[in-house]
Structure 1
Amino acid sequence: MKTRRATAGDVDALVEFPDDPGVVSLSRKQVRDDFEAGRMRPEWSWVIEDEGRLLGRALWWGRGESSPSTLDALDLLPEVGDPRSAAVGLLRAGHADLESSGHCGVPPYTVRLRGGWRDDPQSVRAADWRIAAMADVGIVGSIERRQYAWTPDNGVPASSTRVTFRHGSDDEFIQLFGAAARGTLDVETLQALESMDEVTQAKDDFEFYESCPGDRQWWQVATAGDGTPVGFIVPSATPYNRNVGYLGVLPGYRGKGLVDDLLGEVTRMHAAAGADRITATTDMTNLPMAAAFHRANYQVVEVRLVLKAPR
């Protein structure tokens, strides 16, 4: 078997690579669309080949950047006897290539799994060799998240009678991001605050969401009847769907169910624009947010295990 960088001639085979029933595989349409849009590229992809036949693929993904931001697929055919070792070979080759081209750090990898995956031996095996291979190349951190989706059949929430929404300046949103981080249950935010101050972390969040495919004009500040800000919403989008993005209830106003008002406004905004699917993600440990999605009729569609290098 030979490990090599992919070429343009491999794209069809990369798109049509067989699904692994132990994980939630990327759809072939999405992979082809990503290659056509430049979010996936042959020069970011590595394969295992035997006598001209592809036995494995590692596909890195980026949103138009000069280098990828995440590993989106790591797959091997069942006939590969030692998937962990084979995957390590793909990862080391890809990481060395990224490093030589000036990329800083190792991109995270999201393993997509079905709900209840720990009770399914096939899913456990599929997750285990991927987790072990990533650990072998130094990726030992993990965050488990639920991926949700809303469709029009789930119904549009009624308008809030407790808060109103208005636009806000960039500086105000940076302040709101910082305030919402106090007492947050979001794992990535907590990890970021271990190595940076509140203002820097808030600016990072602002810049990230501003860079997403959504529209800055969608962002809204939620206010009480006297005009006091109680929270904010940052409706967003991915290259594939409208997305809940970010919403935050400010300290001092939590525990009153205002998260339902904020999530409802995001849902109404996207639904009014004709969205036929709205996606969202929250950490497995963020039980209040998970409960809010449940009340708003968002359905769990997969579990995401995000494997990333320690800070």
Structure 2
Amino acid sequence: MSVRRATTDDVPALIAFPDTPGVQNLPRDQVRDDFATGRMRPEWSWLAENDGRLVGRALWWGLGGSRPESLDTLDVLPEQPDPRSVAAQLLQGGRADLGQLPTYRLRIPVGERHGHPVRWRCEAAQDAGLTETLERLQYQWSPPAGVPQASTRLTFREGSDEEFVSLFGQAARGSLDVETRRALEETDEISQARDDLAFYLSCPGERDWWRVAFDHEHQPAGFIVPSATPYHRNVGYLGVLPDHRGQGLVHDLLGEITRIHAAAGAQRITATTDLVNLPMAAAFDRAGYQITEIRLVLQQPRVGS
């Protein structure tokens, strides 16, 4: 078996690679579109061959920079006797090109979390140094779920970038979001808030969707950042300010995001939350969002962790 970086001539075979059981395979049309738009690239892709036959692929993904942002696909044909070894070699090839490996986002169908296809991928990722794991739930809303009623407790208006920096910072205090808590171990609140602002400004969603939420006393209670991916509308970010927690306002904020997207004709709204963030999961359930998959986020340990 041999492992090498892909070339432009390899792209059709990488797109046509068979679906593999036990994981959530990317739709072939999406992979084709990602290569066409540069979100996936031959120079970011590695393949494994056995006697000239394609038996494995590793496809990294990005939004247009010089480096990919994540590993989106790691597949080995099921008949390979040691898929972990093949996958580890693909990741080693990627690391030789990229240096520090980007995050691996492993999508898993509900009920398949502990299956063999998940286990060997996680073991190969750990072999490559991606030893820090975060488990998340992926949700989806569609029109049959219904559109939530407008909040009777909050009003919404636009806000400036500086207002949102302040709001991101306040919402980070005591947050249940694992990535936010990890980030605050390395940086200060305002720096992290500015990073959050920059990230959501870089997403495909529109800036004029963002809203600050006010209570009946005209005090800021939270905020929403409806967003989008290259493929569909997305919940993005919502935050309840510390002094207003414990009142169930997360339902009002999520409802407003859903209303904004639904009013624009969205047929699909996706969202993700950490497995440990029970209030957010409850809000998704109440708003008619359905769990579509589990996501394992595997990455190299942060410096000092």
When normalised by structure 2's length, the TM-score is 0.97
Structure-2 residue corresponding to 1:116 = 111
Query: Deviations along 1:152-197, whole A, 9 cap, x unmatched?
Result: 1110001111100001111110010000001100000000011111
Structure-1 residue corresponding to 2:254 = 263
* Residue 107 (structure 1) aligned with residue 121 (structure 2): no
Choose from 154, 169, 184 the match for 1:193.
184
How is 1:198-277 mapped onto 2 (pairs within 5 angstroms)?
198-277=189-268
Structure-2 residue corresponding to 1:102 = none
Structure-2 residue corresponding to 1:78 = 78
Query: Deviations along 1:42-81, whole A, 9 cap, x unmatched?
Result: 1100000122211000000000111100000000001221
Deviation of 1:298 (Å): 0.2
User: 1:232 and 1:109 mapped to 2: Cα distance?
Assistant: 30
Deviation of 1:227 (Å): 1.5
User: 1:224 and 1:296 mapped to 2: Cα distance?
Assistant: 21
Query: Deviations along 1:107-133, whole A, 9 cap, x unmatched?
Result: 010111112324xxxx51011111111
- Mapped contact 2:59–2:71 kept (Cα < 8 A): yes
How is 1:266-305 mapped onto 2 (pairs within 5 angstroms)?
266-305=257-296
Q: CA RMSD in A?
A: 0.9
Structure-2 residue corresponding to 1:48 = 48
Larger CA deviation: 109-118 vs 150-159: 109-118
User: 1:295 and 1:262 mapped to 2: Cα distance?
Assistant: 12
Q: Which structure 2 residue ranges, 5 or more long, are not aligned?
A: none
User: 1:154 and 1:33 mapped to 2: Cα distance?
Assistant: 29
Paired letter, 1:19: D
2:285 counterpart SS class: helix
Deviation of 1:9 (Å): 1.2
Larger CA deviation: 89-98 vs 291-300: 89-98
Choose from 148, 165, 181 the match for 2:172.
181
Paired letter, 1:228: Q
User: 1:204 and 1:37 mapped to 2: Cα distance?
Assistant: 26
Deviation >6 Å, runs of 4+: none
- Mapped contact 2:94–2:101 kept (Cα < 8 A): no
User: 2:106 and 2:98 mapped to 1: Cα distance?
Assistant: 21
Deviation of 1:35 (Å): 0.5
Structure-2 residue corresponding to 1:28 = 28
User: 1:43 and 1:110 mapped to 2: Cα distance?
Assistant: 19
Structure-2 residue corresponding to 1:9 = 9
Paired letter, 1:60: W
Percent identity of the aligned residues? 63
User: 1:31 and 1:53 mapped to 2: Cα distance?
Assistant: 20
Deviation of 1:137 (Å): 1.2
1:58 counterpart SS class: strand
Number of equivalent positions: 302
2:244 counterpart SS class: coil
Q: Which structure 1 residue ranges, 5 or more long, are not aligned?
A: 100-104
User: 1:74 and 1:189 mapped to 2: Cα distance?
Assistant: 27
* Residue 170 (structure 1) aligned with residue 165 (structure 2): no
Paired letter, 2:105: T
User: 1:200 and 1:95 mapped to 2: Cα distance?
Assistant: 29
User: 1:272 and 1:53 mapped to 2: Cα distance?
Assistant: 49
User: 2:157 and 2:78 mapped to 1: Cα distance?
Assistant: 54
User: 1:301 and 1:130 mapped to 2: Cα distance?
Assistant: 20
Structure-1 residue corresponding to 2:63 = 63
- Mapped contact 2:140–2:289 kept (Cα < 8 A): yes
Deviation of 1:303 (Å): 0.3
